[in-house]
Each structure stands twice: as structure tokens, then as C-alpha cells.
Amino acid sequence: MSQSNPRVLPGYRLSISFTLFYLGVLVIVPLAACAITAAQLSWDQFRAAVWTDRARAAYALTFGTAFVAALLSSAIGLLVAWVLVRYEFPGKRLFDSLVDLPFALPTAVAGLVFSNLYVPNGWLGRFLVPLGFEGAYSRVAIVLVLVFIGFPFVVRTLQPVLESLDAEAEEAAALLGASRWQTFRRVIFPALLPGLLTGFALAFARGLGEYGSVVFVSGNMPFKTEIAAVLIVGRLEEGRPNSYREATAIACVLLAASFLMLILINRLERFAKKDEG
């Protein structure tokens, strides 16, 4: 009596059809529409739309703040995940649930809260602004809100990795005379690196596409605190014949850059897994 292949899930044709339909309608078609709309511009028009001084400043700010925020989110997320997995303390479940708050909280609310906290007369701003810390309507403000919405990705990526680590390897390192730092650097960190890179990539990608919170805390000043998403909205509101196409062209540049960054990070993850193996 022949047995069915256990590797094939029941309903394979239905599930693969639904998956392809989802990818086609909700992912491929919108991306193709974006590219087709931008392609209606001539090369000179496309270049004039996406490579102005204002656009380059917006790109630099968008990618720069997203990168810095992803680095900070990785460090904070690693620390928070370590505490949640390795220690027991009162209120741990509540603390763990608060990590997911940025997922459920509307980003506009986060922007309003941060802007009110760090303005000169805010709860924190009244103490920090005299010290030179500008936490509202500045580039620092953008990084702060991007860390707020990005670090949960790192925490949730690293938690299962930390839970699956073999305690015997750490004990063996300690018995061989390794210090805590050596154990972390040579035993724990290599195992965490693929997950850490994944969390970094998720936080970075989330930061590139963020709009709701940044628009409230940045001040949206061209050449200073204007991100690319705000520039796209500005182009749409101009009402010129090619405004929509120019906005789409800028969106295509962000899309292409995001794909390149994700490909690079995926390659880094593969190299890290090979080194671990």
C-alpha cells in the first residue's frame, strides 16, 4: 500500500493557488503599476524628478536615520530579549506584552506623544532642551521614533533563538576557563548573529517606509528634516500634470534601494549561517 508523501501538506493545490493569487494581486500588481507609471516619464523627466538637491537630501536623511535607528534597535532589542529569556522577575509578562505595543499603536499616536514629550515645554524637553538635546523637530527625533517602532522586530526575532541555545555549550566554555565576555563573544553571539541580522533588516525596512510618526516629530523642513515619504506626499499635493508620475518615480527609487539592501542583508545572513555551521 503506497503512502502519500508526508512532506506535501494536504490541500497543496489550493494553498499554492491562494499564495500565488495573494502575491500577484497584493504585491506584484501594485509594484508593476508603480513601475509602469514611472516609466511614462522620459529619462530626462525621471532624472529631474528623482535627483534634485531636495530629493538627494531626503534620500540621505531617510536611509541615514533608518540605518542608525536599526543599529540602536538591534542593541536595545538584544538586551531586552536577553532579559526576557534569561531572567525571572515580577511583572515579566506585562513587560513582555509591552514590547508588542508599537505593533498595535497607531504610528501617528507615537509621533504625537514623542513630539509632546520633547518640545521645550514638554515633560522631558524642559530638562533636555537646555542641555542641548533636541528631541523634537530634528533628526534626533526621527531616530527616536524609528527606534520605538523598530526594536520589537529585533526582540521577537531573537527571543526564540535565545530560548533554543544549548546551555551545555556555555557551561563547557565556563569549565574551560572562558570569561563571561569570551563566552558571549565566541559561543553565544555567533549563534545570535543570523537572527540579529534578520531583526536589523526588519527594523531598517520598517524605518524606510515609516511616515505616520515621523511627520509629527520631524518638522518636515526641506534639506533638514524632510524624509522621502514626505517628499512624495508633497509632490502629490502640487497638482501639476506630472506630479503623480514624479511622486511614483521617487517611490521607485526607494523601492529599488530597499530591494538592494534586503538582498545584501540576506547574503550576510547566509554567510553567517555558513560560518556557524
Residues 100-136 have pLDDT tens digits of: 998 888 888 888 888 889 988 888 889 988 888 888 8
More confident residue, 234 or 273: 234
Say how far apart CA 100 and CA 94 lie, in whole Å. Answer: 10
13-276 to CATH, choices 1.10.3720.10, 3.40.50.11540, 3.30.310.80, 1.20.1250.20: 1.10.3720.10
More confident residue, 104 or 272: 104
Q: Between the CA atoms of 158, 162, 163 and 168, what dihedral angle is there, to the nearest 10 degrees?
A: 170
Tell me the average pLDDT of the chain.
86
Helices (H), ranges, the chain:
12-22, 29-39, 43-50, 53-86, 92-99, 101-104, 107-118, 125-128, 139-164, 167-175, 180-183, 189-209, 214-217, 228-237, 243-276
Model pLDDT, residue 103: 87
- Can you tell me the mean pLDDT for 39-61? 92
> Is the pLDDT assigned to residue 138 strictly greater than 60?
yes
> Is the pLDDT assigned to residue 197 strictly greater than 90?
no
Angle, CA of 157, 24 and 26, to the nearest 5°: 60
Say how far apart CA 110 and CA 149 lie, in whole Å. Answer: 9
Using DSSP's 3-state secondary structure scheme, residue 22 falls into helix
Locate 73 and state its grid cell. 534597535
Grid cell 526582540 in the structure block, residue? 155
Model pLDDT, residue 1: 45
Q: Where are the domains of the chain?
A: 13-276
**Distance, CA of 242 to chain centre:** 31
Amino acid code (one letter) for 146: L
pTM here?
A: 0.85
- CA max distance for the chain: 81
> Is the pLDDT assigned to residue 267 strictly greater than 70?
yes
